[in-house]
Each structure stands twice: as structure tokens, then as C-alpha cells.
């Protein structure tokens, strides 16, 4: 089976004699081989992120294995780890009726032949089905409700959670969660968000400090913002696009580790989108 390789970040410097010095997180290497120099310089120019074993074989022929070993041992490439996904059903969970209608109509129209599409109240925490994907959007958002939804999937043998919500006038979409992967969960995401938002000037209360005070008065208080219908349509589009990128035809799909742990935030005033790789929150219990 042909492997794919992720190209790690590196710095490349050309010497006057034609050799190239490459710096990675693992260290520094000096390269003399012209074919390898041409390949690395092309990665540097184009920002290429991935390369297949078959391409390396075309370039280096019988020296392919030696080249792969050299690049991997020096931290320039690493094998792409893929996970197999199977989705049998999609459950929409949201406290926004307009968005529920958009998502239900779209998913039923496009995927009902292959999937069971259902809607579930955010207050209904019945157990997940095997191979169920829960598509969640909360506005208003409540931290204890978010944890209960996360716990619903932690108690499931194999299910997937795509969690999204409004917080501080931004739309957040967590990375895809499956308890068997031991990857960052929703509580990790909101933990990092809250920690970051507590940082501010000593003279003014931050958004998160105000929210903390409200939670201290009433734990079940709901935090949200009024959305326009155009904002809701764009949010629905983000959710459906993310699902399609992750699951393709919603049957058996392969997914890269980097794609699993990709999270996003969108500003609601200008719809600018920012993506990052999710990490565990040190105070979360999801990887114990």
C-alpha cells in the first residue's frame, strides 16, 4: 500500500557551492544531491504540505527508501496517519430553530438515501447510536450543557461530535471528537478559550471575567447573541462544508490526523475565518 508523507516546517538556505542547508525541529542537515535539492526547494517555493511515496519513487527510483529514511530521520517528513470513519446517522442538536430547519432540509435532501437524519432536543440526552455523528450548534451557549453533550459521546462506544457555538460574538467550531481517539474534546476547547479571554488590562474587566461572575451567580445562565438570518445561513454553510470535507460521501472515509484536530473561529461582524490545531487542556479529564 502506497504511503503519504506530511512535509514538516523547515528553513532552507542555498550555499554558494550549490549545496543546501535545511533546518528542521530535529536539527540541521546539509544536502548535496541535486534531485533532493530540487525537490526541497520546490517545497520551499510552493509551500507544499504533503507528498506521496509514488512521487518519491518516480524521482529517486531504487534510492527511494534511503531518501525517505533520510528525510524522516531528520524531521523533514513524517508518515500521514489516517483513521477510518463510518457514519450511519446524523443527529442535529441545536437550540436555534432557524438553523435546525436549514440543516435538516439540506441534509435530508442530499443524504437521506445513505444516512438516517434526525433532530434531537439539546435537553434530550439519550445515548448515542453506534456510528452516529452529532452536529451541534448552541446559541445561547451554556458551559454545563456543553459538558453534558460531550459526556454523551464519552459514554458512547463509537460516535462522533462536531460541536459549534457562539461565544464573545464569534462562531466557534471545535475539532471532530471521538473518545476512542483520545483527542481534544469540547471541554478542552472552551477551557482554552476562557483562559485566553481572561487576559486583559488590570483596569478593565474582560469579557470572560464578566461571564465568570454571571456563572458564579447562576450556573445554568445562557450566554448568546442575537443572530441575523444571513449570519445563520453562513454558519449553516460552514457546518455543512466541514462535514463534507471530513466525511466525503458519509460512508467509509479516511481522514488525516491533522484534519481531525482542526478547529475554526469566525468573526460575526466580517465573517473572517481563522483555523488552528486543537490541543488538550491541562485541566480536562478527557484523556485520563
Answer yes or no: do 160 and 41 share one domain. no
Answer yes or no: do 133 and 235 share one domain. yes
Instruction: Number of helices (H) and strands (E) in the chain: give both, helices first.
Output: 9, 15
% of the chain exceeding 90 in pLDDT: 60
**pLDDT at residue 119 greater than cutoff 90:** yes
Q: pLDDT confidence of 42, banded at 50, 70, 90? A: very high
Task: Print the domain residue range for 26.
Answer: 4-80
Q: What is the pLDDT of residue 254?
A: 60
Which of 149-163, 186-200, 230-244 is least confident? 186-200
Domain-located, residue 104:
yes
Q: pLDDT confidence of 96, banded at 50, 70, 90? A: very high
**pLDDT at residue 208 greater than cutoff 80:** no
Q: Give the best-scoring range by mean pLDDT among 30-44, 71-85, 210-224.
A: 30-44
Answer yes or no: do 132 and 256 share one domain. yes
Range 171-187 average pLDDT = 94
Residue 158 DSSP class: S
What would the pLDDT profile of 104-118 be if each residue is shown by its tens digit? Answer: 999 999 888 888 999
For the CA atoms of 166, 172, 177, 179, the dihedral, rounded to the nearest 10 degrees, stands at: -50
Listed in sequence order, the DSSP H helices in the chain are 34-46, 53-60, 64-73, 97-111, 143-154, 186-197, 207-217, 229-247, 257-260
What would the pLDDT profile of 219-256 be if each residue is shown by its tens digit? Answer: 677 778 999 999 999 999 999 999 888 776 555 556 66
Domain-located, residue 286:
no
Answer yes or no: do 41 and 91 share one domain. no
**pLDDT at residue 201 greater than cutoff 70:** no
Domain-located, residue 22:
yes
% of the chain exceeding 70 in pLDDT: 87
Among candidate residues 147, 145, 196, the one with its CA nearest the CA of residue 168? 196
Domain-located, residue 285:
no
Domain-located, residue 119:
yes
Answer yes or no: do 64 and 89 share one domain. no
Answer yes or no: do 67 and 90 share one domain. no
Q: What is the pLDDT of residue 52?
A: 87
Answer yes or no: do 266 and 149 share one domain. yes
Long-range contact list for 204-207, CB < 8 A, 24+ apart?
207/168
Stated pTM of the model = 0.70
Tally of CB atoms within 10 A around 147: 15
Answer yes or no: do 239 and 126 share one domain. yes
What would the pLDDT profile of 210-220 be if each residue is shown by its tens digit? Answer: 666 766 666 67
Answer yes or no: do 110 and 72 share one domain. no
Answer yes or no: do 95 and 76 share one domain. no
> Which domain-ending residue is among 52, 80, 108?
80
Answer yes or no: do 197 and 222 share one domain. yes
Answer yes or no: do 93 and 213 share one domain. yes
Helix axes 53-60, 64-73, angle to 10 degrees: 120
Q: How many domains does the chain have?
A: 2
> Which domain-ending residue is among 48, 80, 112?
80
Q: What is the pLDDT of residue 204?
A: 66
CATH code of residue 101:
3.40.50
Range 248-271 average pLDDT = 77
Average pLDDT value over all residues in the chain: 88
> Which domain-ending residue is among 80, 99, 118?
80
Amino acid at each position: 500500500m502506497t504511503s503519504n508523507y506530511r512535509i514538516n516546517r523547515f528553513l532552507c538556505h542555498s550555499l554558494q557551492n550549490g549545496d543546501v542547508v535545511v533546518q528542521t525541529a530535529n536539527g540541521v542537515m546539509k544536502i548535496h544531491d541535486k534531485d533532493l535539492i530540487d525537490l526541497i526547494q520546490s517545497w520551499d517555493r510552493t509551500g507544499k504540505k504533503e507528498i506521496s511515496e509514488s512521487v518519491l519513487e518516480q524521482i529517486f527510483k531504487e534510492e527511494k527508501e534511503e531518501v525517505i529514511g533520510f528525510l524522516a530521520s531528520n524531521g523533514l517528513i513524517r508518515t500521514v496517519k489516517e483513521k477510518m470513519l463510518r457514519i450511519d446517522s446524523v443527529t442535529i442538536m441545536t437550540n436555534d430553530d432557524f438553523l435546525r430547519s436549514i440543516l435538516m432540509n439540506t441534509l435530508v435532501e442530499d443524504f437521506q438515501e445513505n444516512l438516517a437524519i434526525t433532530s434531537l432536543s439539546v435537553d434530550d440526552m439519550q445515548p448515542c447510536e453506534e456510528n452516529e455523528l452529532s452536529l451541534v450548534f448552541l446559541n445561547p451557549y451554556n458551559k454545563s450543557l456543553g459538558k453534558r453533550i460531550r459526556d454523551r459521546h464519552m459514554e458512547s462506544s463509537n460516535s462522533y461530535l462536531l460541536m459549534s457555538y457562539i461565544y464573545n460574538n464569534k462562531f466557534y467550531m471545535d475539532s471532530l471528537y471521538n473518545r476512542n481517539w483520545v483527542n481534544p474534546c469540547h471541554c478542552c476547547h472552551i477551557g482554552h478559550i476562557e483562559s485566553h479571554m481572561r487576559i486583559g488590562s488590570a483596569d478593565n474587566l474582560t469579557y470572560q471575567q464578566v461571564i465568570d461572575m454571571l456563572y458564579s451567580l447562576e450556573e445554568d445562565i445562557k450566554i448568546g447573541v442575537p443572530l441575523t438570518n444571513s449570519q445563520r445561513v453562513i454558519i449553516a454553510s460552514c457546518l455543512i462544508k466541514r462535514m463534507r470535507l471530513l466525511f466525503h460521501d458519509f460512508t467509509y472515509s479516511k481522514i488525516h490526523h491533522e484534519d481531525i484536530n482542526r478547529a475554526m473561529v469566525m468573526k460575526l461582524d466580517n465573517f473572517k475565518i481563522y483555523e488552528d490545531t486543537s490541543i488538550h487542556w491541562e485541566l480536562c479529564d478527557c484523556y485520563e
